[in-house]
Amino acid sequence: MRISVIVTTYNNPDYLGRVLEGFNLQRRLPDEILVADDGSGPETAECIGDFSGRAAFPVRHVWHEDRGFRLASIRNKAIKEAVGDYVVIMDGDCIAGRHFVSDHERLAMRGFFVQGKRVLVGPAASEALGQESVNSFISTAGMLLSGEFSNTHHLIRLPWLPPLTKTVLRGIKGCNMAFWRDDLLAVNGYNEAFIGWGREDSEIAVRLYRYGLKRHEHPFMACCYHLWHPENRRDMLEENDRILEDTIKSGSFRCSLGIEKDSSGQ
């Protein structure tokens, strides 16, 4: 199958450059990367252009105007342009280990979407961490001892263990998720009613469950390394909580303000 990786970003070319380099070192290369850019300036475009000249796969820059935090909207734009059968969505502050794409390919199964895992990296270690470091046994041992990393049990890779099956919202993290593209189209993608940080990932999970899917996750596969950054502003969280609750009550699996803008819902 063809795998499209969508990497979201906003004005952080240092982190984005390291994230993109990680995909050039994968055991199984992605078939394309789409950088879903929520309105960054020219430094980000330069970073993407530089990487695309060295990448072993097509790289596309999907951009829209900066009008505040519109993560759902730029993800939808990238999903619409993706050519893959399977879509992995991650954030531009998450470095993938070398098995990341092959693990997602191995976990892909019809009737499921996948919730990947993350190791949290502290401020000091985030200064220079790159994909070569996360693939080093010596570096991994150092991570366990440094106190700069948490969720370190995900550093262990045990691909022969079966994934867990869940149908709950707890544990949904949009920085590392994967879907069959036609499932995303069926629910009309992310709900663009979400403006500002929070809850867009839980809301699409509600609709995917209602559509009939279940969630697979594996504690010891498809892990990324989440670099430290200050927390996003949460001034829209109350409104986003309301949108999530409305979706839970609605009984609909398709949002009207999604990839296609319509007034339907079923």
Query: Residues 226-246, buried b or exposed e (16+ Cβ, 10 A)?
Result: bbbeeeeeeebeeebeebbee
Task: List, as own/partner pairs, every contact residues 141-145 make where C-beta atoms lie below 8 angstroms and the sequence separation is at least 24, other chains included.
Answer: 143/119
Parallel, antiparallel, or unpaired: how do β-strands 164-166 and 3-9 relate? unpaired
**Amino acid sitting at position 136:** S
pLDDT tens digits, the chain, 266 residues: what are they? Answer: 999 999 999 999 999 999 999 999 999 999 999 999 999 999 999 999 999 999 999 999 999 999 999 999 999 999 999 999 999 999 999 999 999 999 999 999 999 999 999 999 988 888 878 766 666 544 665 666 667 788 888 888 999 999 999 999 999 999 999 999 999 999 999 999 999 888 999 999 999 999 999 999 999 999 999 998 887 777 788 999 999 999 999 989 999 999 998 755 44
Considering only CA atoms, which of 29, 45, 28 is closest in space to residue 37? 45
**Tokens 């993407």 map to which residue?**
48
Q: Which pTM value belongs to this model?
A: 0.93
Which pLDDT score is estimated for 266?
43
CATH of domain 3-250: 3.90.550.10
Task: Give the three-state DSSP class for 97.
Answer: coil
Burial of 162 (0-12, 13-18, 19+ CB in 10 A): exposed
Question: What is the predicted pLDDT for the residue at 235?
Answer: 79
